[in-house]
Every structure is written in structure tokens, then in C-alpha cells.
Amino acid sequence: MINKFFSNVKNFFSKQYNIVMLGLDCSGKTTMLYQIKDLSQVMMTVPKIGFCLEILEFENYKIHCFDINGNENDSYKNYYWVPIYEKADAIIYVIDSNDIDRLYDANLEIDKLLLDQLLKNKPLLILANKQDLNGAINPDTLSEQFNLKNKITDRKWSLQGISSKCNIGLKESFEWINNCLSENK
């Protein structure tokens, strides 16, 4: 069933896109990539320093997805991320919606990326991950707490609830990205 889902996703895409995936450590970015890339198993992951590049290939579609740990120091970001940011077509920001203690930090990181001139006007998909867990904050509450409707005015954006581990909401997320990027190309 899961393999069928992602084989159907192939039909949605016909171009190559560079997508920057950001989020605090342990938010579920890498799990999401591995869920999409190898759906036969859920991979155990460990927090990384820096970033990794995963190329997700579908029928006529490639995502060069840069999985970047979103809480590195600014000098590290400036040195390594400028070329990645310059080539980005869209941004995905993943939030661990079950980690109440770090929501403030996630909100600050979103504020920083909204101010980054290299990412200006690029579509932003915010994913409230781990919605399968008891105590996870739903997307509407996150949007209100982060004041997203008032502070994101220069780009297309969406906030969606997902569970990377359980493969919930991933299809809709990639449909949204594809629709935004298709309109822009």
C-alpha cells in the first residue's frame, strides 16, 4: 500500500527541484526522507551535525533535498548554507509538535528563515510532525501560537500535520510543494 502511494506520487511531478528541509534536531526530517526513499522499513536515525543530501527520484521528478539541522551556529550556516539557499526552490520546515519545550526555539528559527534574503519569496511548507503522539500540538494551535498568518506575508505557505514515522500526511505535503512549484515555473 505504501509503495503504491509513492509510485502514484511519481505522476504528480515532472521537473527537478531543490528543496531545503530545515528543523531542529530530532524533529523528524531524516525519518521523513527515509520513509519516502525506502518505504519498506522505518530507519532508526541519529542527530547529525551539518547536513545531508538525499535525492528522491520519482518517474519524471527529482527532489534534491538538503536535510539541514536547524540549530547550528550562524557562522557555520553562513559558510555552508549560502550555496544551498541560493539554489533552493522551496523550503520545508519540520517541527516536532510533541516537544513543547522546544517550540519557542522552532519559532525563532522560522523567524530567522523568513528574514533570510536568500530564501525570500520561496514557498514555505511547515510540517507539524509527530501528530501520531499523544500530546502533540495540532497545526491550528501552532499557527496561532507562532502568529504565522500575520508574519508570513511574502510567500506561499502552508502548515500541515504529519507523522513521518507512520507515513501520515506526506502525500498531501508533496502535492502542495508540487503545486506551488509548478505554478512558479
Nearest to 67 by CA among 50, 46, 45, 88: 50
Domain layout of the chain by residue ranges:
15-174
Contacts of 90 (CB under 8 A, 6+ apart): 17, 19, 20, 122, 123, 124, 125, 177, 180, 181
Q: How high is the pLDDT of residue 10?
A: 47
- Which cell is 48 given? 547529525
Residues in the chain: 185
* Torsional class of 147: left (φ above 0), alpha (ψ -120 to 50), beta (otherwise): left
Residue 169 confidence (pLDDT) above 60: yes
DSSP symbol at 10: G
Do 136 and 96 touch, CB atoms closer than 8 A?
no
pLDDT, tens digit, for every residue of 26-69?
888 778 877 777 654 555 555 555 566 667 664 455 666 666 66
CATH number, domain 15-174: 3.40.50.300
pLDDT, tens digit, for every residue of 118-138?
999 999 999 999 999 999 999
Enter the pTM of the model.
0.81
% of the chain beyond a pLDDT of 90:
39
